[in-house]
Structure 1
Amino acid sequence: MNRRSDIDFGVVTLLGNDDVQRHYGISEIGGSSSSSISSSTSCTRMVGRFPRLSSLSHPNLCSYIQLIRSTTVDNAVFLVSEHYKMSLADYLQKSRLTVEQILLISRSLISAINYLHNSNIVLGYFSLSSVFFCEGTIQLGQYGLYWISGGGTDIDGCVASPWYISPERLQALLFKRDFVLRSSDVWAFGIGLFELLVGVTLSEIWGIKQIFAVIATSFRKAVNGSSLHPLLEAVRIARPNVDINIQSELYILLEKILFIQPSKRPKAKEILKCLDTILESCGGSNDASIKTDNILSANCKKNYDLQVSDLKEQLNGCFENFCGFRSPKESFYLWTLSGSSVENILLNHGIIRANSPVNMLPHVVFGDCCMFGNDSSRRCCFTNFRIFQLPTSNLRERLQNIEKKQFVVSFELQKDLNAKSELSLIVKEKDIEYQARRMLVLSHLIEAYPFKQNLLREECAIDVPPLHRGSVWAMLLNVTSCTEERFLLLDTFQDHPSDRQLMVDIPRCHQYDELMASPTAHFKLKRILKAWLVAHPNYVYWQGLDSLAAPFLVLNFTNLLLIAARAFSCLDSFIAMYLHNFFLQDNSPVIQEYLTVFYHLLAFVDAELYTYLTNMDFFPELFAIPWFLTCFAHVLPLHKLFHVWDVLLLLDSSFPLFVGLAIMEQLRQRLISASFNDAILLFSDLPDLNIERIVQESQAIYSFVPPSCTFRSHASTHLREPILLKPYSIDLLKQCHCPRISAEDFIRLFDRSLCLIIDIRTQQEFSHGSLTGSINYPYGDNEPLDMILTALRYAQLAEHVIVIVDNQLCQRAFLVAERCVLSGFNRLCVLDGGIECLRSKQHRFQCSF
């Protein structure tokens, strides 16, 4: 990444207007239906459009970073973008540019405009004040105001600079309508080129009313259909001291650009070719770097003879200017962590006002809340296209105080330089030093994927920086460009049996999230879901699939222009790995088996809670189906779900079971004394859960529960290890009160002396051959547990697994296990296949069978 030492952040305040009738403007690409558009506010629509802008990338465009909704002013948003101090208009006031510099600047600008037009974005707003110098390159800003405002219909005022407005747009405004064509952007560019050649901006010569009169006069006096000649004459009259000397080739080009009829103006692509030709004829290069007296080029020549001292000096400069070497989004994220707030800064500088509600009361209210009087007090801010530069001194000071070695990433020399990795997630996400290093580490590993895939998983086990979560998840789910291409082959616009249900569910999906509440998100979510249903005709839409897709949509929104390829691929891979066959039309066997295994694990972890719930017939079917059908996406807010899935994607398909167990443990105190109705109410409206504690407890339970205890016959192949257990029917599984353990897991516990073995065969069978250290407890219907009670209690205190061993059928083993579980003993399981499964491995034991 090129170094940009003078990078700053700028903010534009936009005030939404929901009273404006939507006669015109940009069509809602994000609208899933007309009703969803009309029911959403202007701010919500702008939030939905913003990711499109933030995904745009061009060397001559200032990137958009974040759209922030105001908490002080209703319907106000703050548009944050990359910003630089020196604008082209400011430079013109100090010095005049040479012809070669003008050509290079013009080429850079028209290249950016051509890119925007190819991306189906029209500027609508252009001025030399929004063109910035950035260490030898030209950066165009404020190009997204027209798009973000829905063609100006969602905000007050016209999105345009009066001195650059095109004739057709000016005529439309006379009839209180507004529209922008690509040719309108070409006109605005032509006015900017005209100002560069003249050496003075039109705003310095004329006011708003005067420029409209000048433009109207130029229409009447147009020469060959172009306004160039009358504009030149008007400038000569207004500023007789200005030396105007335009080359013939540039004059001809500018004359075409300023044609009154939009259809006769050249396209941006054609202008770019003309400028390249003129540059070649002038002997110049097409290099985008602009050399001026006040600006130094950042593209230094390579010198392989640098001394060590010079290299150290350059490295010190890198450390002192961390923001200049990272993306603007990363830098702004650190800016927010440094204690800065966009809204507070604007309040302190008077850009917006915070009036008390009592002072904003109207004089008269009647009808459908029609308010009159005291309007000025209710308008706490106005749409202002002027960029307000945010202070960055606090961020730079904080970064300079960080030890330089934190920014040296060497996976081979030292695993972890940061001692803060053991802090809580909330603290780590607010720590600027920690996040600066973590983003640096993860960005290196993302660029090295798939060669450093194992190292990436190790780093993600620590935590995942929020800004890189989308890319990291895609890599953990093995999403590649080839898998994304599948989406292009799917017809997502054809009618589908699930269309009606999608129209009902999608507008309600995670509506507390600003992005998910936008029409753009509704449209794209519908495409993702329909693409998945079309790609898998054997599956059907079950309620909750929309919630399952929402996290991938939110994280990959900036990568979605007109297609949702990555989000679709992530969803497809996620379901294949973690929710295999959950969305079959008849998914009852899959769901029932999952819930039964979950209940067995609850008995393994907390027999007392299991017994209490069983006695009042409170089974997982009453509360846990939405948990596992959506991997908790339907019951957890997105900001908490992200932390759960950060861990989930590093583990196998059984991990959701352990998350469910962790939630049960966190609700244990309320459940253990709750009545049936109280328990129903508790799960219908879950309290605020400590998600960090849930993640830690689920990982702890996952680590000590034998993998075979999570065996499911309908599970995917995404497992810790292959598990070979005898498949049981659902009815037989429900008769069991504890999980089963495989011979392999049993041997691992046996070798480390981490289990208590209770052999319930008859004394005669036990005497013929038994496991070393096992206790014989011949089963009888009325046989008390007294003879093994002491052993059970010691095993409980030592946190050892209690294994019940029987013959091959294990019928008596499950009866004994039931009595032990109902007596409150945890970590109890039955050896699958009984003693017979160990005969082939008897060399592992000091006994004979």
Structure 2
Amino acid sequence: MRPLRDAQLGAFTFFASALPHDVCGSNGLPLTPNSIKILGRFQLLKTITHPRLCQYVDISRGKHAKHHSPERVLQIAYEALEGLEFMNKHGMVHRALNAQNVLMDGKGKVKLAKFGLYYMTDHGADVDFPIGYPSYLAPEVIAQGSVHPRDPSQGENPLPSGPKTDVWSLGVLLFELCAGRRLLQNIEISERLKFIITLGCIDDIVTVLAEEHGCLDAIRCVYVFDACSKSLTFHSVLPSRPTPAELLVDPVFEGVSCLYAPFQQPVGLFSSSLRCAHLELPEDISQLCKGQSEYLGERAIDEVYHLWCLAGGDLEKELTNKEIIQSKPPVCTLPNFLLEDGESFGQGRDRSFLLDDTTVTLSLCQLKNRLKDVAGEAYYPLLEDEQSSLSQSNSSNELSCTVMLPLIIRERDTEYQLIRIILFDRLLKAYPYKKNLVWKEARVDIPPLIRGLAWAALLGVEGDIQAKYDSIDKDTPIPTDRQIEVDIPRCHQYDELLSSPQGHRKFRRVLKAWVVSHPDLVYWQVTHIHTVLWSIDNSHVIQEYLTVFSQMIAFHDPELSNHLNEIGFIPDLYAIPWFLTMFTHVFPLHKIFHLWDTLLLGNSSFPFCIGVAILQQLRDRLLANGFNECILLFSDLPEIDIERCVRESINLFCWTPKSATYRQHAQPPKAQGDASTNGFGKTANYYSSDYQDMPKTDLSREPLELSDLKAEVSPRISAEDLIDLCELSVGGQTKRSKASKPKILAVDIRSIEDFGRGHISGSISIPYSTAFSPDGELVQCPATGTLQSFRGRVIVVITDCLKHCFATHLVKVNYPRVTTLDGGINKMKPTGLLTVPSPQI
């Protein structure tokens, strides 16, 4: 993205055509407003970057000449043609060229403005005004008249303008530069057009230019105007003039083209080309920052605009202050009635709905004042520095406090976002070599402006992903097309981009590319929300997932689990859309973004913890209600504090032994980076890695039949989990320091005799036969007192027969974090880690 440098942010506005309120489309749904259509098409304009084009940064949907030398004219012509050719490669034409839309940057280079107006309005179909300026429109455009492109009463719609239309407009501009605007400004459009068309011979051109420039310069001007005359040719109805691409190789530009290097698209983050191939360091490194007192000018234009909005910038307010947008009371907008006798009543056409060509320059003073305390070093953070990136600012104390504030406040803090954006920008430019630092900083937060690229880095995306996507056939009809077509208009249609036709189109192509790339998977609809499931016969996959989730509820909140099981409110009734859509069925998009920022940092077990955290926010209401009330509660889920949900799910995640969520039908893992980065910081340590990723050994969990898995209320953990959690080493000695507190208690429920023959070091003996009274209460004894003192820690039940229900009984009396050792004591015997007590003397 190009830096701001000496450029300025500008804004202009126009009104989209209104649609009738009582008309629906063929699908029975209300018609999409034209303003939404325009917003969707605009997204492509943000991606187009070229030295000859002004950069588009955002669109907001509101509620309502001088003479030049021949050499300079050649340069202007060549630079303008470069911009037009680049637009044509992207399937666009300008159609609104005039003297005000050909701008010059600080170096005198051409930049074409408002080049996306014709494209984003669907060739003028979505607005009430014509696109273009009559004085510069090509004859074939004027010949079509003012027929609206989508007016069914006009019969066949006119064809959209092509690249040659812009060449005519450019030719008129060049003629004005050569001859001066005085020559044509007082001539009516029809006479002006006739005058230009009749300039067909060199003698006439020489005469006109000689009158303007004098005889000495007339011959030189002819060669310049030769490019103009090629564009100002008109034959019958169809133009025979060349395209911008053809003009660029015209001999008239031989002396100019050598001054310009061919444009190369900037290499993106995900590409097969080296991003640093064009970089050259000066001999004196100190020259890099020399004279750069305006640090904000080195930032990308879209970044500056984002910060401008955070600092209080308001596009609609700026345009209103300049009286470009004027609100009127409803009584002043009554329609005009025309009677048979020609007499009219009411208002005439509101000219505010026509195009106002004024461009308002947006002041950066407020933004600069907001960032005045940010030191210059903050714009160039050192990635190898162990200190926090926030310490680079003069107001580091304030920023250090900001990082402790709620996420929604941090995302609106201008100075904080500047620091975070700069840091992530540098880390992503060093991706994948700084992948670990991306993970580290993502655990703090992810700047919304860079969220897309940050997610791609967290997902391990590498290589030319755009080329891979382009190579997938997304056009050939497939059986799922109909279902996708029905589902997309139901998906988050409150969002302006997703509800636009372009949003639908892109969404459809992404889904179709996924389905085509995974022929072993199938697309299903789930409660009006689409999803792609793991396999065609996936009922066993879903049932295993829901069973493990049910065990996670019992592990973390046994009281809630007991209540939900008693009333029959099982996860099958509410949780399927949660996991199949990764909670997009539950939350609006602005909450989903924050949730996924964390979701991508966890392993495949983390969604279980999010589900438990949601239930715990609704805990009091769930415990107080029966089955019917719970069904109604989940049919319209109450407001969920997403930041609290994320915070609590991380805590649950860090307390969950990794083998407790083992699923034999889990999706095969993809290779990730350093496992140490794949978690939530120091508190996650052991729990951060995914059990599905680990190589299987004799101490790993064994797969269970689904019926056996459903019969167990609490989860199992593997022998290797137990060894790590107990911090055992060979010889049965522990590695734990005296100051540390164990997070686990091993409870051996075998008989006293079996316990004496060998047991886990540090475990306690509570024989199952003496543990519970006939009414199910835990019998009080020294051993159960120890168990009570460890309440809240991970309890691992060890037995020689997994048919025992000791763990189930503990859950029923509301003991949290209860697990069972997979394989029982027999799994531990070959390890040599069992302890035999010394005989008493």
Match of 1:393 among 352, 365, 381: 365
Q: Counterparts of 2:777 and 2:122 in 1: how far apart (Å)?
A: 76
Match of 2:796 among 791, 803, 824: 803
Partner of 2:277: none
Q: Counterparts of 2:142 and 2:106 in 1: how far apart (Å)?
A: 36
Matched to 2:827, the amino acid is C
Residues 174 and 773 (structure 1 numbering): CA distance in 2 closer, same or farther, change over 3 Å?
A: closer
Tell me the CA shift for residue 661 of structure 1. 1.1
**SS of residue in 2 equivalent to 1:389:** strand
Match of 2:723 among 747, 750, 770: 747
Unaligned stretches of 5+ in structure 1?
21-32, 74-88, 290-300, 366-371, 550-574, 576-581
Q: Counterparts of 1:407 and 1:139 in 2: how far apart (Å)?
A: 28
Partner of 1:826: 816
Partner of 1:758: 747
Partner of 1:206: 186
Q: Is the 8 A contact 2:227 2:252 kept in 1?
A: no
Question: Where in structure 2 are the equivalents of 1:351-362 lying within 5 Å?
Answer: 351-356=324-329
Partner of 2:675: none
Partner of 1:737: 713
Question: Where in structure 2 are the equivalents of 1:116-135 lying within 5 Å?
Answer: 116-135=87-106
CA offset digits 1:77-99 (Å, max 9, x no partner) = xxxxxxxxxxxx4xx2xxx4333
Tell me the CA shift for residue 626 of structure 1. 0.2
- Whether 1:349 and 2:326 are equivalent positions in the alignment is no
Partner of 1:46: 38
Question: Where in structure 2 are the equivalents of 1:93-112 lying within 5 Å?
Answer: 96-112=67-83
Question: Where in structure 2 are the equivalents of 1:534-613 lying within 5 Å?
Answer: 534-544=516-526, 582-613=533-564
Partner of 2:17: 17
Q: Is the 8 A contact 2:758 2:834 kept in 1?
A: no
Tell me the CA shift for residue 605 of structure 1. 0.7
- Whether 1:705 and 2:656 are equivalent positions in the alignment is yes
**SS of residue in 1 equivalent to 2:193:** helix
Residues 417 and 135 (structure 1 numbering): CA distance in 2 closer, same or farther, change over 3 Å?
A: same
Q: Is the 8 A contact 1:548 1:633 kept in 2?
A: no
Partner of 1:369: none
Tell me the CA shift for residue 708 of structure 1. 0.9
Q: Is the 8 A contact 1:632 1:641 kept in 2?
A: yes
Matched to 1:728, the amino acid is L
Q: Is the 8 A contact 1:104 1:288 kept in 2?
A: no
Q: Counterparts of 1:244 and 1:17 in 2: how far apart (Å)?
A: 48
Q: Counterparts of 2:645 and 2:458 in 1: how far apart (Å)?
A: 22
Q: Is the 8 A contact 1:353 1:381 kept in 2?
A: no
Partner of 1:570: none
Match of 2:231 among 241, 244, 257: 257
Q: Counterparts of 1:335 and 1:270 in 2: how far apart (Å)?
A: 41
Q: Counterparts of 2:179 and 2:541 in 1: how far apart (Å)?
A: 75
- Whether 1:182 and 2:163 are equivalent positions in the alignment is yes
Partner of 2:641: 690
Q: Counterparts of 1:351 and 1:233 in 2: how far apart (Å)?
A: 43
Matched to 2:659, the amino acid is S
Tell me the CA shift for residue 111 of structure 1. 0.5
- Whether 1:195 and 2:170 are equivalent positions in the alignment is no
Residues 70 and 741 (structure 1 numbering): CA distance in 2 closer, same or farther, change over 3 Å?
A: same
Residues 504 and 4 (structure 1 numbering): CA distance in 2 closer, same or farther, change over 3 Å?
A: closer
Q: Counterparts of 2:836 and 2:234 in 1: how far apart (Å)?
A: 99
Q: Is the 8 A contact 1:198 1:243 kept in 2?
A: no
Q: Counterparts of 2:375 and 2:365 in 1: how far apart (Å)?
A: 18
Match of 2:828 among 832, 838, 841: 838
> Once superposed, what is the RMSD of the aligned Cα atoms?
3.4
Residues 345 and 277 (structure 1 numbering): CA distance in 2 closer, same or farther, change over 3 Å?
A: closer
Matched to 2:445, the amino acid is D
Match of 1:383 among 332, 355, 363: 355
Q: Is the 8 A contact 2:199 2:205 kept in 1?
A: no
Task: Decide which moves more: 266-275 or 145-154.
Answer: 266-275
Tell me the CA shift for residue 361 of structure 1. 6.5
Q: Counterparts of 1:175 and 1:491 in 2: how far apart (Å)?
A: 37
Tell me the CA shift for residue 514 of structure 1. 0.6
Partner of 1:223: 200
Matched to 2:36, the amino acid is T
Q: Counterparts of 1:677 and 1:360 in 2: how far apart (Å)?
A: 51
- Whether 1:674 and 2:656 are equivalent positions in the alignment is no
Tell me the CA shift for residue 141 of structure 1. 0.7
Q: Counterparts of 1:844 and 1:373 in 2: how far apart (Å)?
A: 99
Matched to 1:273, the amino acid is V
Task: Give aligned pairs, total.
Answer: 749
Question: Where in structure 2 are the equivalents of 1:118-517 lying within 5 Å?
Answer: 118-136=89-107, 137-173=109-145, 179-200=160-181, 205-206=185-186, 210-219=188-197, 221=198, 223=200, 246-261=220-235, 262-274=238-250, 277-279=253-255, 285-286=259-260, 304=283, 313-315=290-292, 317=293, 320-322=294-296, 324-356=297-329, 375=347, 381-418=353-390, 419=400, 420-482=402-464, 484-517=466-499
Normalising by structure 1, we get a TM-score of 0.82
Percent of paired sites with the same residue? 34
**SS of residue in 2 equivalent to 1:543:** strand
Matched to 1:785, the amino acid is L
Tell me the CA shift for residue 448 of structure 1. 1.3
Normalising by structure 2, we get a TM-score of 0.82
Q: Counterparts of 1:243 and 1:426 in 2: how far apart (Å)?
A: 64
Tell me the CA shift for residue 200 of structure 1. 3.6
Q: Counterparts of 1:34 and 1:121 in 2: how far apart (Å)?
A: 29
Residues 202 and 778 (structure 1 numbering): CA distance in 2 closer, same or farther, change over 3 Å?
A: farther
Q: Counterparts of 1:166 and 1:157 in 2: how far apart (Å)?
A: 17
Residues 138 and 544 (structure 1 numbering): CA distance in 2 closer, same or farther, change over 3 Å?
A: farther
Matched to 1:384, the amino acid is D
Partner of 2:581: 630
Task: Decide which moves more: 628-637 or 836-845.
Answer: 836-845
Partner of 1:772: 761
Q: Counterparts of 1:789 and 1:202 in 2: how far apart (Å)?
A: 104
Residues 229 and 167 (structure 1 numbering): CA distance in 2 closer, same or farther, change over 3 Å?
A: farther
Q: Counterparts of 1:706 and 1:373 in 2: how far apart (Å)?
A: 78
Q: Is the 8 A contact 1:218 1:231 kept in 2?
A: no
Q: Counterparts of 2:666 and 2:114 in 1: how far apart (Å)?
A: 52
Partner of 1:80: none
Q: Give the helix-richer structure, 1 or 2.
A: 1
Partner of 1:522: 504
Partner of 1:565: none
Matched to 1:150, the amino acid is D
CA offset digits 1:529-580 (Å, max 9, x no partner) = 222222222211112599678xxxxxxxxxxxxxxxxxxxxxxxxx8xxxxx
Residues 400 and 138 (structure 1 numbering): CA distance in 2 closer, same or farther, change over 3 Å?
A: farther
Tell me the CA shift for residue 819 of structure 1. 1.3
Residues 385 and 34 (structure 1 numbering): CA distance in 2 closer, same or farther, change over 3 Å?
A: farther
Q: Counterparts of 1:358 and 1:789 in 2: how far apart (Å)?
A: 80
Task: Decide which moves more: 428-437 or 252-261.
Answer: 252-261
Partner of 2:59: 67
**SS of residue in 2 equivalent to 1:758:** strand
Residues 374 and 740 (structure 1 numbering): CA distance in 2 closer, same or farther, change over 3 Å?
A: farther
Tell me the CA shift for residue 684 of structure 1. 1.4
Unaligned stretches of 5+ in structure 2?
150-157, 264-279, 339-343, 391-399, 670-688, 728-735, 737-741
CA offset digits 1:710-765 (Å, max 9, x no partner) = 11111134362426211112221111111111112222322353222221112221
Q: Counterparts of 1:509 and 1:248 in 2: how far apart (Å)?
A: 60
Residues 36 and 467 (structure 1 numbering): CA distance in 2 closer, same or farther, change over 3 Å?
A: farther
Task: Decide which moves more: 690-699 or 170-179.
Answer: 170-179
Residues 215 and 246 (structure 1 numbering): CA distance in 2 closer, same or farther, change over 3 Å?
A: farther
Task: Decide which moves more: 1-10 or 253-262.
Answer: 1-10
Q: Counterparts of 1:388 and 1:59 in 2: how far apart (Å)?
A: 22
Matched to 2:751, the amino acid is T
CA offset digits 1:417-445 (Å, max 9, x no partner) = 31233332111111111111211111112
CA offset digits 1:58-88 (Å, max 9, x no partner) = 11111111111103x1xxxxxxxxxxxxxxx
